[in-house]
Structure 1
């Protein structure tokens, strides 16, 4: 295979508008195929979200050089790292990429400072300079007093920061974060997320975050990419994604009831033709969304109620924050959030028939075709 050109900035290669990362990831693994285009600017944080098996980890592994592409390309800073059609492939250790794995994978026999110094040493920096750089990074992470501790002597949040320092110490053009907060307890996660946000804001390279947690993505990322079955199904900033989900997975992620249907003015027929009256007048294929909090439950058909009312059967009741999440079956499946007091007054139990109601003004309607 040929050797790629040295990693340089896009401007140095004569492409001032090129993103730091320009990749088309195509990986065939039996019946699964990843086919995903990624572009991440310098200084930008992009989050990959999707259900288990969507291809997020495969995408990260191909970028890191842990798995080769079947087709497509990975171009970082204007230089090709992987381009099968030209027999170009750069080994993992030569890629200007830093990785923070879910379990951090710190070297157990090395101190925190030597863990961080490992990256610069691997890139040819002498031992003394590498340790000086590592000490500086630990100071920036608020871990100077823990420099001589082994990983087993660190808390989860401290280990996460050591792993981040190790990844950033090589000044990577691309930083890959694989569920970086998943191993932490709830309180440590909250504090560490805020620290991680600050450090990512200072990173001048591109960052790709793989996560299952929508809060991590919403807090840390400038842009979200939703991946399902190996393909991008939605992309945008947090406001766009949360306002207009386009798949059931995204709707669940942001806590909305979502239906695809056919609009004719103020009426949208969803499911098997069930009509929903909506506030916006559109025509053609659309999505209708509304939050579970917009669904009111009644023991019998309400009088003088919103125009959207239908009989339903309770199929599940779960605690959801301070409220109860009621799952309903009927002409359309729906989730409703009600207070414990309201549930007690209605004597709600699984299998119970109720009436559901949603005001037209609580619905959000938008075209099913992107853009």
Structure 2
């Protein structure tokens, strides 16, 4: 069996380039097919990725989860210690047989968090830099750069140095530079983190438009759930170096499976054991749900579904328990109230209007009753 892409392998197993397309013998489908294993003294990353051309995958997770390590491994900046990496059927890295394509020869474009534009080059020359490094003649590289800048709406800024560009303009130049080499894999590392809130809204929508037109694979690393929900077709949540949940934004938002994901999508999440419409969360706390289940189950509901009362509520809320307020902060046009269950110690978040907080005379340390209607909960198998 022959492998596409093998060329000029040195003694250390690192090649200086990659050629070829999909492996015609194995029939490997186009796109990204990888198992990324990176082992360090106190950390191990082990995740599998399969992403089709035209698809945008977002890697989400708390700090230290392994997102950036995964992105650097895909780019070839961090060597794999196990697993392997194929792009469009071509092996880029296989530690088991000491095969590794050097980062500069991979068909990969990267947009870093701070964009890393060359400060001494104009926007046009920043974009033309990649093709020039590939041996493209100067005039043709500049024509390609001008075409990309026009697509980004930056023709009038082609001669500007990075210091003359706004954050949004610099982000678009960075995207154009990454696309100029016609990559088969586009990596985006927190691409909107450097923007202020006002610019972020416009640039996010524009970036989504460009990604929708990108025909190869795109992998986005972010900690911002809104960026992930808007930009990605599929989410992969990584915690402690492993994948804990994967699915479409709608699936993740509706059925979170860890506390981190629940906080990410703004839900209260509890795990317990279901018996019909009842889910026992902890001794003394059983929630009534509309779903009928048996066995391990999650129960989720938004903070807006929680009502607070000074006395035990005499209402249609089937679920009521005592909790103590541990903090309050402004959350949009409402007050986010943080609570801890008095009997079980479980955390709870409730969103109230400022009027409701004032009428109830709520303050940190106060003991209240929390209520949630069964119809506002969502239960699903754990």
| TM-score with structure 1 setting the length | 0.96
Counterpart among 299, 320, 342 of residue 331 in structure 2: 320
Equivalent-residue separation in structure 1 for 2:331 and 2:27 (angstroms): 48
2:230 maps to 1:216? no
Corresponding position of 1:351: 365
Q: Aligned match of 1:26 in 37, 41, 54?
A: 37
**Structure 2 partner of 1:60:** 71
Question: By how many angstroms is 1:337 displaced?
Answer: 0.6
Deviations 1:223-273 (A, max 9, x none): 000000011100000110000000001000111000110011111111345
* 1:307 CA displacement: 2.3
Q: Which runs of 5+ in 1 are unaligned?
A: none
Q: Distance in 1 between matches of 2:28 and 2:284?
A: 48
Q: Is the 8 A contact 1:19 1:39 kept in 2?
A: no
Please, which moves more after superposition, 245-254 or 298-307? 298-307
Cα deviation, residue 302, structure 1: 1.7
Which residue number corresponds to residue 267 of structure 1?
278
Aligned ranges 1:126-165 → 2 under 5 Å: 126-165=137-176
Partners of 2:16 and 2:105 within 8 A in 1: no
What is the distance in 2 between the residues matched to 1:338 and 1:325? 7
- Name the counterpart of 2:183: 172
CA–CA separation in structure 2 for the residues paired with 1:136 and 1:272: 65
Q: How does 1:226-241 map to 2 (within 5 A)?
A: 226-241=237-252
Partner of 2:288: 277
1:336-367 per-residue CA deviation (whole Å, 9 max, x = no partner) reads 11111000000110001111111111110000
RMSD: 1.4
Partner of 1:335: 349
CA distance in 2, matches of 1:231, 1:273: 34
Rounded to whole Å, the distance in 2 between the matches of 1:129 and 1:361 is 62
Please state how far the C-alpha of 1:304 moved relative to its aligned partner.
4.0
Tell me, yes or no, if the aligned pair for 1:4 and 1:79 is still in contact at 8 Å.
no
For these two proteins, the number of residue pairs brought into alignment is 367
Q: Does the CA contact (< 8 Å) of 1:7 and 1:76 recur in 2? A: no
Match of 2:124 in 1: 113
- Distance 1:2-1:341 versus aligned 2 partners, 3 A rule: closer
Q: TM-score, normalised by structure 2?
A: 0.93
Partner of 2:3: none
Give the conservation status (yes or no) of the 8 Å contact 1:4–1:81: no
2:177 counterpart SS class: helix
What residue is the counterpart of 2:4 in the other structure? Answer: none
Write the distance in 2 (CA, Å) between the matches of 1:18 and 1:52: 33
Structure 1 contact 296–357 (Cα < 8 Å) conserved: yes
- Cα distance, 1:21–1:7 mapped onto 2, change above 3 Å: farther
Residue 60 of structure 2 is aligned to residue 42 of structure 1: no
**Alpha carbons of 1:190 and 1:297: their partners in 2 closer, same or farther (altered >3 Å)?**
same
Q: Does the 8 A contact of 1:48 with 1:225 survive in 2?
A: yes
> Would you say the 8 A contact 2:17–2:101 is kept in 1?
no
The alpha carbon displacement at 1:142 in A equals: 0.7
Deviation at residue 305 of structure 1 after TM alignment: 4.1
Instruction: Tell me if the contact between 2:14 and 2:102 (Cα under 8 Å) persists in the aligned partners.
Output: no
Give the match's secondary structure for 1:13: coil
Post-superposition offset of 1:145: 1.1
Q: Please, which runs of 5 or more residues in structure 2 have no aligned partner? A: 1-12
Q: Does 1:69 align with 2:83?
A: no
In 2: Cα distance, 1:132 partner to 1:9 partner: 27
**Closer, same or farther in 2 for the Cα pair 1:188/1:230, shift >3 Å?**
same
Q: Distance in 1 between matches of 2:40 and 2:14?
A: 25
Which residue of 90, 98, 112 corresponds with 1:79?
A: 90
The CA deviation at 1:16 is 5.2
- Aligned partners of 2:17 and 2:180: how far apart in 1? 22
1:195 and 1:72 mapped to 2: Cα distance?
35
